[in-house]
């Protein structure tokens, strides 16, 4: 086998030219596949936001891709995977923001966990001081609550596709931190849980995880299947 140096020096050799052409073709094919994956992923993620009616709020999106896998049964049933294992998509050197907010229209809607933690602490301080009134009537069925404070977060995986780019699977997780306030008079009988002003002394956590399967129909990605993967309260 000719060395790379020999090929550089003796470009006229047919075997060198063939080797270079093959390498160049493989590189072009890989680059084309990567760009196709990014383009299709962008439209699938837009479909997820559309179908789940996601409202972009501060720090909603995690800046990193979720590492939750597409389960083996979903991968085999819908994507034609031959692997007997769960599958995680390669990140292709891009972040969720790169694909979801390519036009930089959602500035402030994506952040790290550290930034999210700092934002929540500031939100709680503002809530307790009265600077942030919270959401009134946000928790139906809990009439004692006068207002609720929430910080919502979403994590998402890079979509996985079948070979023809006609079907995709994506794993999504929604989490929220929350606390609340009740009427000061009502809080006195629960002094271990509420302060004198009626603010809850702790915080609540809830979350839900789903796997969505999309199929392209008439050039539009439509959800055809979903599974409830996990929940936390």
Closest CA to 221 of 178, 172, 166, 179: 166
pLDDT in tens, 149-192: 999 999 999 999 999 999 999 999 999 999 999 888 777 778 88
Query: What number is the average pLDDT over the span 2-9?
Result: 38
pLDDT of residue 2: 41
* Position 22 confidence tier, pLDDT thresholds 50, 70, 90: low
| 88's tokens | 């995680």
pLDDT of residue 230: 95
Domain contains 5: no
Domain contains 9: no
| Dist. CA 86–CA 88, nearest whole Å | 7
* Strand runs labelled E in the chain: 61-62, 110-111, 145-156, 160-161, 167-182, 204-217, 220-232
Domain contains 107: yes
* Domain housing 96: 14-232
Domain contains 7: no
> Between 83 and 143, whose confidence is greater?
83
Query: What number is the average pLDDT over the span 116-144?
Result: 81
* Share of residues in the chain with pLDDT > 90 (%): 58
| Dist. CA 75–CA 83, nearest whole Å | 8
HSE value, Cβ hemisphere, 13 Å, CA-based, for 64 = 8
Domain contains 32: yes
Query: What number is the average pLDDT over the span 186-202?
Result: 84
pLDDT in tens, 30-85: 889 899 999 999 999 999 999 999 988 899 999 999 999 999 999 999 999 999 99
Mean pLDDT of the chain: 85
Give helix then strand counts, H and E, for the chain.
Answer: 6, 7
Domain contains 110: yes
| Dist. CA 15–CA 8, nearest whole Å | 12
Domain contains 6: no
Domain contains 4: no
pLDDT of residue 92: 86
pLDDT of residue 145: 62
Min mean pLDDT across 12-21, 167-176, 213-222 is at 12-21
| Dist. CA 2–CA 20, nearest whole Å | 12
Phi then psi for residue 157, to 5 deg, are -95, 155
pLDDT of residue 183: 82
pLDDT of residue 146: 77
pTM flag (> 0.85): no
How many domains is the chain partitioned into structurally? Answer: 1
> Between 171 and 7, whose confidence is greater?
171
> Between 121 and 134, whose confidence is greater?
121
* Position 21 confidence tier, pLDDT thresholds 50, 70, 90: low
């Amino acid at each position: 086998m000719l060395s790379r140096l020999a090929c550089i020096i003796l470009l006229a050799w047919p075997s060198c030219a063939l080797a270079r052409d093959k390498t160049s073709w493989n590189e072009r094919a890989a680059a084309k596949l990567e760009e196709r994956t990014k383009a299709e992923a962008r439209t699938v993620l837009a479909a997820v936001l559309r179908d789940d009616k996601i409202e972009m709020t501060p720090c909603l999106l995690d800046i990193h891709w979720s590492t939750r896998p597409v389960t083996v049964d979903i991968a085999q049933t819908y994507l034609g995977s031959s692997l007997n294992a769960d599958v995680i998509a390669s990140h292709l050197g891009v972040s969720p923001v790169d694909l979801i907010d390519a036009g930089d229209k959602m500035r402030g809607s994506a952040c790290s966990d550290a930034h999210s933690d700092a934002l929540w602490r500031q939100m709680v301080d503002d809530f307790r001081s009265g600077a942030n009134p919270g959401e009134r009537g946000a928790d139906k069925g809990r009439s004692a609550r006068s207002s609720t404070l929430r910080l919502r977060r979403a994590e998402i995986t890079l979509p996985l596709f079948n070979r023809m780019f006609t079907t995709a699977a994506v794993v999504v997780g929604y989490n929220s931190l929350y606390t609340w306030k009740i009427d000061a008079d009502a809080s006195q009988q629960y002094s271990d849980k509420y302060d004198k002003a009626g603010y809850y002394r702790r915080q609540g956590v809830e979350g839900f995880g789903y796997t969505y399967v999309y199929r392209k129909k008439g050039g539009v990605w439509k959800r055809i299947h979903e599974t409830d993967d996990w929940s936390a309260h």
